[in-house]
Structure 1
Amino acid sequence: MKPPYRLLGISGSLRANSFSSALLAALVEATAERAIFDYSDIGAVPHFNQDLYVDPLPPSVQKLRDQILEADGLVVVSSEYNHGIPGTLKNALDWASRPHNQSPLKNKPALIITSSVAVTGGVRAQYQIRETLISALARPVSTPEIVVGNIAAKIVGSRFEDPSVIAFALAGIAEMFNEVDRLVGR
């Protein structure tokens, strides 16, 4: 039996009862037999400033970079703000993207999931996140876009409850596992 995959969950929302974090938690639960998740705290990362990109890096930045390095893959679950990527998520990805050809994101498989209270499901943020990850030389998983529209209606209490979305997202995670296997020969 293969050892569990080590995944880093990145929620693009800082809100205490974040829809993105609830969806991520549902995926963690659904993959518990195959994956171990760590979580990033992108809210602790300072605003990107090239003047701060010196040795030693700010501790929260170093922790994020180490988490990315240790992970087999990333699961980025984000809402869409004003038709785009949330600023805190873009900021974290900018910190992780340096130096360009040697960043911890280089060749890292990444599954992107977006959501919105609108029916569009965060599709515009999906493209912006993908573009940022590709620019940083990460490997967004080639899978149908996982966009979750009307997400507020899919939260019961504080839990994400939509079996069809979970099943669709699990197909994306399975493809990410395949990509990890191809990259590291598992």
Structure 2
Amino acid sequence: MTTTILTLVGSLRGDSHNRQIAEAAAAVAPGDVSIVTYDDLTSLPFYNEDIDVPGAVPAAAEKFRAAVAEADAVLLVSPEYNGTIPAVLKNAIDWASRPYGESSISAKPAAVIGSSMSPYGAVRAHDDARRSLGVAGASVLEDAQLSVGTSMDRFAEIHPKDDAELVEQITAILNALSGAAKEPAAA
């Protein structure tokens, strides 16, 4: 059985190290894991309960919720902006968390990875993202963490998919997400 992991990248810059880390995840995914990167986060309007009503939900939000619902697990790949999660990822979590009681992310295995140019590797953003995912109802894998520091130096001359240590860490996280997605839901 193939596990589909929906990947959400918090950096909108086309050649960002976090986008490259998402590319690395797709390149090294085990044979029973399919990585689907959602590349349309910029189409999501800011979450607003006034437009999140039957018959008025924006098409972009419906499309995004369907992608989350169809996935077996979710992987956020996040930089750190001003000490926290990028707005585009927070907005995506907000849309996935609704409607209350029917959330597309509810009980879905989730993990957060990524990098920043600071030596701390976006740890604060990753902590905030895991907290937000958990409050939204996702089943956050607390042991599946990867925060890569000093990305400007580490990836100055190589793509993340060519970094053996990183590939090993990403593969372990993908396997953890796949394993969690295959576990029967808790009764």
Q: TM-score, normalised by structure 1?
A: 0.91
Query: Separation in 1 of the partners of 2:184 and 2:136?
Result: 17
TM-score by structure 2 length? Answer: 0.90
- Say which is worse superposed, 170-179 or 153-162, in terms of deviation: 153-162
**Offset at residue 153 of structure 1 (A):** 2.4
Residue 39 of structure 1: aligned partner: 37
For residues 130-154 of structure 1, give each alpha carbon's deviation from its aligned partner in whole angstroms, at most 9, with x where no partner exists: 1111101101113152111111223
CA shift, 1:22, in A, is 0.5
Amino acid at match of 1:68: V
Structure 2 residue runs of 5 or longer lacking an equivalent are: none
AA matched with 2:180: E
RMSD: 1.8
Q: Provide the residue aligned with 1:5 in structure 2.
A: 3
Distance 1:163 1:170, change over 3 A: same
User: 2:135 aligns to what?
Assistant: 135
Unaligned runs of 5+ in 1: none
Q: Where do residues 31-70 of structure 1 align in structure 2 (5 Å cutoff)?
A: 31=29, 33-40=31-38, 41-56=40-55, 57-70=57-70
Shift of 1:16: 1.6
Change (3 A) 1:88 1:34: same
Q: Match of 1:77? A: 77
Q: Percent identity?
A: 30
> What is the total number of aligned residue pairs between the two structures?
183
Cα 1:32–1:177 change in 2 (3 A) is closer
